[in-house]
């Protein structure tokens, strides 16, 4: 069994948990993916089977689209709802202010990825070093935000739809939005809806991904 399977990852499990479940339900051992999702995030994962694993690097570089829920008023130690929250401000920005800030975070921008990330520093993931008590510094990087659109805003929560280049962290986008607004902000929820030309609408539910369904939905790459 070789190829690509689009899977809808649920909230609450790791990306490797997805691999474990697919191995168990299909009996296939050689399974990988083309980009992780944090346990608190859900949505499209591109699962690679057999010889399809050779395409991981090229597929990982594809642009991505997310629907993100951002909460204003506090910062998080991890940039998302998993971390310790610190109140910053109870000021309520106007819709015009929010849209202006989102515009500043559109196009080619500089980001400093979160220390609680899987980025490797000297061969070890940054988040593991932080949890071990180490001081971690991650260099800034240039990323592209093609679209950063406000969908809904009811203070302190907003929903944005963002299309970004590979390597862009939506947690950092949320934190930078909070800095621009002077309110603080963190990522309260995240759904990945597109990777390149692949859509979440075409993904199978992980719970239903048995051998027959996987075989029927497998894509050639």
Mean pLDDT of 120-129: 77
Is residue 42 pLDDT above 80, yes or no?
yes
pLDDT tens figures, 129-140: 877 788 777 888
pTM for this model (two decimals): 0.91
Is residue 127 pLDDT above 80, yes or no?
no
Domains of the chain: 3-61+196-217 (3.30.2350.10), 64-195 (3.30.2350.10)
Closest by alpha carbon to 28, among 54, 58, 5? 5
**Which of 2, 17, 38, 80 is labelled catalytic?**
38
DSSP structure class, residue 103: H
Is residue 124 pLDDT above 90, yes or no?
no
Q: Are 26 and 124 in contact (CB under 8 A)?
A: no
pLDDT at 27: 93
pLDDT at 135: 76
Q: Are 8 and 192 in contact (CB under 8 A)?
A: no
Is residue 149 pLDDT above 80, yes or no?
yes
Q: What is the DSSP string of 114-141?
A: -SSS--EETTEEHHHHHHTT-------E
Tell me the CA distances in angstroms from 66 to 135, 161, 192, 216, one per residue in order.
30, 6, 4, 27
Question: Is the dihedral angle over the CA atoms 138, 181, 77, 187 positive or is it negative?
Answer: negative
Count of CB atoms situated within 10 Å of the CB of 122: 5
- Can you tell me which residue has the tokens 């991904």? 209
Q: What is the CA radius of gyration of the chain?
A: 18
pLDDT tens figures, 59-106: 999 999 999 999 999 999 999 998 999 999 999 999 999 999 999 999
pLDDT at 70: 98
Q: Is 38 a catalytic residue?
A: yes
| Band of pLDDT at residue 118, cut at 50, 70 and 90 | confident
- What's the CA gap between 19 and 14, in Å, rounded? 9
């Amino acid at each position: 069994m070789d190829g690509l399977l689009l899977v809808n990852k649920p909230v609450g499990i790791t990306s490797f948990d997805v691999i474990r479940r697919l191995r168990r339900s299909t009996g296939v051992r050689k399974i990988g993916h083309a980009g992780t999702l944090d346990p608190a995030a859900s949505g499209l994962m591109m699962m690679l089977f057999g010889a399809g694993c050779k395409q991981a690097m090229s597929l990982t570089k594809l642009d991505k689209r997310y629907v993100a829920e951002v909460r204003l008023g506090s910062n998080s130690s991890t940039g998302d709802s998993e971390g310790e929250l610190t109140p910053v401000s109870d000021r309520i920005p106007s819709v015009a202010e929010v849209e202006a800030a989102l515009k500043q975070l559109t196009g080619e921008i500089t980001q400093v990825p979160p220390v609680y990330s899987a980025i490797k520093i000297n061969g070890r993931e940054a988040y593991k070093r932080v949890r071990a008590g180490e001081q971690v510094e991650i260099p800034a990087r240039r990323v592209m935000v093609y679209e950063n659109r406000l969908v809904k805003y009811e203070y302190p929560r907003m929903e944005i739809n963002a299309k970004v280049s590979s390597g862009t962290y939506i947690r950092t986008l949320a934190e930078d939005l909070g800095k621009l607004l002077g309110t603080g902000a963190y990522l309260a929820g995240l759904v990945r809806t597109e990777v390149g030309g692949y859509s979440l609408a075409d993904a199978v539910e992980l719970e239903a991904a048995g051998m027959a369904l996987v075989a029927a939905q497998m894509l050639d790459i």
